[in-house]
Structure 1
Amino acid sequence: MPDYILNKPGRLTAEEFNQMKLHTVVGAQILSRVEFPFPIVPVVRHHHERWDGHGYPDGLRGEEIPLTARILSVVDCFDAVREDRPYRRGMTREQAVNYVLEESGKTYDPQVVATFLAHLPEFEAEIEVMRGAPAPTFGIEATERLSGAALAVAPAAGLAEDAPHAPEAAHASGERPLYDLAAALAACQTEEEKCAAFVGHLGQVVPADTCALVRVNEETGESRVALAAGRNASLLEGRAVRQDSGVTGWVLSNRKPLFNSDPKLDLPEDAAAHFTDYRALAVAPVAADRVLFGAIALYSAALSEYDARHQRLLCEAADIFARSLAAGRTEPPTDATAPQPKPARFAVTTLESNLTH
């Protein structure tokens, strides 16, 4: 299955969905080479068949579908709809139960649905007991250790550097630019100035070829790229960002960062054509005190991925920016020409606290 389909935040096209359907056939073909003592292959091939006959890959109906596949389809659905996805939020338990009930007799075997829901509290209790427990090894244990020569072998592309731990190394790898960012934000008096300072200094904190700052309009709820910098910035600045599509939309909707999806999945088709050489994407929400101000998206052609250090620094920078915006809104009215030291102390003190705890 191509990565761009697996990682696509929005809806699949008809062609992409048809390609995705092949995972049932290909998976069954792969497993057919293994002589399992149980009928595993039919389960894999038919777990997307529907009770009403409108499923795939073979359009089986009712009890033509193997019972094990009918069971797996219900369990798979219930688990999947409870999880967050890049293109939607996960359902609550009640919503998931109602959804399965609505599909009973259409997508799912009614008897399987009834049995599953009747025993759901037991299943959930078992899952809670297993939560945090070591994964079972099924009796398969490592019987020997890697030799020194084997441990010395590195991948052809090289290894990612470990995140620095020493204070000096940490200071040199991004914390000094964070201090500079906090100081620059503290010197600003308007949100527009803060946005410009944030985008202007962010490149010193985390590398990117293109940067897009999305702001949420608190009155309308609409999101738009307020400021962009770097390559192709003019293609992004001013564009609307829907919270139900794209990587940035998912981040806005879920208020969680998302890293290393295909950058082209975050862009409209007319803009994506100009980003064909981009390989890495990092998006973090800009939120503080339960207020969502927007999101910051970094696109890179030079990097193959944003590593753990990049991710941490971006989230810290976004947090500093968000807290600066929040502090500015809680400041009492002052003479526009007078200095405002409180936001400066707030931003720098917050950064020092983050770095020392």
Structure 2
Amino acid sequence: MRDQIPHTGLNFFATYSFAVLLVLNIENLSFAALGVFAPLLALSYVSSKLSATRVEESNTHLNELSHLYLSTIEALAMAIDAKDQVTSGHIRRVQVHSVALAQELGVRDERELKAIEAAALLHDLGKLAVPEYILNKPGKLTPVEFEQMKTHAAVGADILASIDFPYPVESIVRYHHEMWNGKGYPQGISGEAIPIGARILSVVDCYDALTSDRPYRRALTREQATAVLTERRGSQYDPRVVDTFIAARDRLIDASDSRALAESHLAKAAEIREMVAGTKADAVSGVRISQDIDEPVEQDDSPSPPRVDDEGCVLLTFQAIARYLETVVPDAVAVVYTHQVDEARLVASHVSSREHEFLLRDASIVLGERLSGWVGANRKMIVNSDPALDLGDLAGAWVPRLRSTFSTPLVSDDTLVGVLTVYTPDRQGLTCRQIRTVTLLVADGLVPTTDAASTPRDEPMVAASPFAASGPRAVPSPRPRSVSA
């Protein structure tokens, strides 16, 4: 469009000058002269019209290009959202609230607002380089895992540096984990040296993380999350940004367009997760549990779906899993927590370790709490997590000590039956092949799901567990965990 401005300007100036001269000398012109000037005037008009058309076409092309940029950004954002199962919908909410907060702070530069809008969607792009077990790990990350997680800001910015954005997106993504006091990462810059977009994004990012469910805690209330921001004001976050966000918090969060955008993004992200889950399911559907795990299965060998009210179903499935684990991970402990609908809790009904069965038999976990409770409430699988999040100090009662957890929901006909959790002494947990085997054994008796999109979080889950245990006792609480984003 800028290339068209000189030509359009010259054409307009020439036409305007010609028209002015014609008007000033109209009385001195003869009809013959008018016969010459009239076609020239018409030609100038046509030329001006064509120039205006070219400008309009350039504007249309620019709008289409901008839409293409946004569509590409949204596609990348949904890919990130689909990979990180724990923070579904996070990036779209952060985008909406970041732009609104920027406007509250007086940011009027259209390029800066566009940069914040794009960066908010792409701020977690670098997580594509972080292993999924780290992204979805409900427990505290090890120092090595945390260092790997910290790379996502720089990795994401480096990826975006290769894209010629018409606004400064890269710097916002690179510095959104920097702190006001200079103790952040990746470069440790501080204060006003941090781009305003990054300072805005960090506050909104933290607030949304605090007010979202995590495997190790329930979502904080608005007041609790605000208290955390206030505590970190001036040390981790820009005081002016925090104060402005708190003052406008309810208006920003309750905005109707925010909810609509978030719901739209969640619907698209859910479709992507379903495709990913379907692809993974197809990858293992042609495999039979046998001595040779890679032996193809005939179509006629597929087991018929079990009934939820078949009382032997859960027990037989569990026994098969226990026998398998005894051969590959002798020290592993498998537990089936059955869903007690009336009490909204999970009760340990089957324990593979006879030596330690008395420690877990009839142990109770509230649905939605601890690791297994979170898996049951959200119907999502968790791999390589800390057993202490589920068992507390009991994790150290085993010899050798339990150090890793694999947990998957047991669902049949869209009804939660229970949760299968496997605790192992190996820090690396079960291998991919072992997880695939256990998952297929579960599928022989029940149908696990890794997506809770069809069951709203606030809606009570209806199920009738055939293994209701009497007198459940609570599992001792894990050691306190500090709240962090």
For Structure 1 versus Structure 2, the TM-score category normalised by the shorter chain is: 0.5 to 0.7
Q: Distance in 2 between matches of 1:282 and 1:259?
A: 7
Matched residues, number = 262
Q: Tell me, yes or no, if the aligned pair for 2:215 and 2:374 is still in contact at 8 Å.
A: no
Q: Which residue of 2 aligns with 1:173?
A: 305
Match of 1:80 among 192, 198, 209: 209
One-letter amino acid matched to 1:281: S
Q: Which residue of 2 aligns with 1:200?
A: 315
Is structure 2 residue 372 aligned with structure 1 residue 251?
yes
Matches within 5 A, 1:80-99: 80-99=209-228
| CA shift digits 1:296-323 (9 cap, x unpaired) | 424564156777x6137xx99974247x
Q: Secondary structure at the match of 1:102?
A: helix
One-letter amino acid matched to 1:123: L
| CA shift digits 1:167-222 (9 cap, x unpaired) | xxxx94011xx3331xx7xxxxxxxxxxxxx8635549x97756404599xxxxxx
Q: Distance in 2 between matches of 1:41 and 1:9?
A: 29
Distance 1:227 1:255, change over 3 A: closer
Is structure 2 residue 411 aligned with structure 1 residue 281?
no
Q: Distance in 1 between matches of 2:321 and 2:200?
A: 48
Q: Which residue of 2 aligns with 1:2?
A: 131
Matches within 5 A, 1:151-300: 158=282, 172-175=304-307, 178-181=308-311, 200-203=315-318, 209=324, 211-213=334-336, 227-229=350-352, 238=359, 249-252=370-373, 256-262=377-383, 265-266=386-387, 270=400, 281-283=407-409, 296-299=419-422
Match of 1:310 among 447, 463, 467: 447
Match of 1:34 among 147, 157, 163: 163
Q: Secondary structure at the match of 1:297?
A: strand
Q: Secondary structure at the match of 2:420?
A: strand
Q: CA deviation at 1:225?
A: 5.8
Q: Distance in 2 between matches of 1:50 and 1:157?
A: 42
Of all paired residues, the percent bearing the same amino acid is: 31
Q: Tell me, yes or no, if the aligned pair for 1:212 and 1:237 is still in contact at 8 Å.
A: no
Q: Tell me, yes or no, if the aligned pair for 1:21 and 1:56 is still in contact at 8 Å.
A: yes
Q: Tell me, yes or no, if the aligned pair for 1:252 and 1:295 is still in contact at 8 Å.
A: no
Distance 1:97 1:264, change over 3 A: closer
Match of 2:152 among 11, 17, 23: 23
Q: CA deviation at 1:11?
A: 0.4
Q: Distance in 2 between matches of 1:253 and 1:136?
A: 22
Q: CA deviation at 1:64?
A: 1.0
Distance 1:239 1:317, change over 3 A: same
Higher helix share: 2
Q: Which residue of 1 aligns with 2:13?
A: none
Q: Tell me, yes or no, if the aligned pair for 2:372 and 2:419 is still in contact at 8 Å.
A: no
Q: CA deviation at 1:18?
A: 1.3
Q: Tell me, yes or no, if the aligned pair for 1:52 and 1:106 is still in contact at 8 Å.
A: yes
Tell me, which stretches of 5 or more residues in structure 2 are unaligned? 1-129, 269-277, 286-302, 326-333, 340-345, 389-394, 412-416, 423-433, 450-454, 456-460, 473-485
Q: What TM-score do the two structures reach when normalised by structure 1?
A: 0.57
Q: Tell me, yes or no, if the aligned pair for 1:49 and 1:61 is still in contact at 8 Å.
A: yes
| CA shift digits 1:137-187 (9 cap, x unpaired) | 9xxxxxxxxxxxxxxxx96984677xxxxxxxxx94011xx3331xx7xxx
Q: Tell me, yes or no, if the aligned pair for 1:248 and 1:297 is still in contact at 8 Å.
A: no
- Structure exhibiting the larger radius of gyration computed from Cα positions: 2
Q: CA deviation at 1:86?
A: 1.4
Q: CA deviation at 1:282?
A: 1.0
Q: Secondary structure at the match of 1:10?
A: coil
Distance 1:112 1:136, change over 3 A: farther
Tell me, which stretches of 5 or more residues in structure 1 are unaligned? 138-153, 162-170, 185-197, 217-222, 286-293, 330-357
Q: Which residue of 2 aligns with 1:127?
A: 258
Q: CA deviation at 1:26?
A: 0.8
Q: CA deviation at 1:284?
A: 6.2
Q: What TM-score do the two structures reach when normalised by structure 2?
A: 0.44
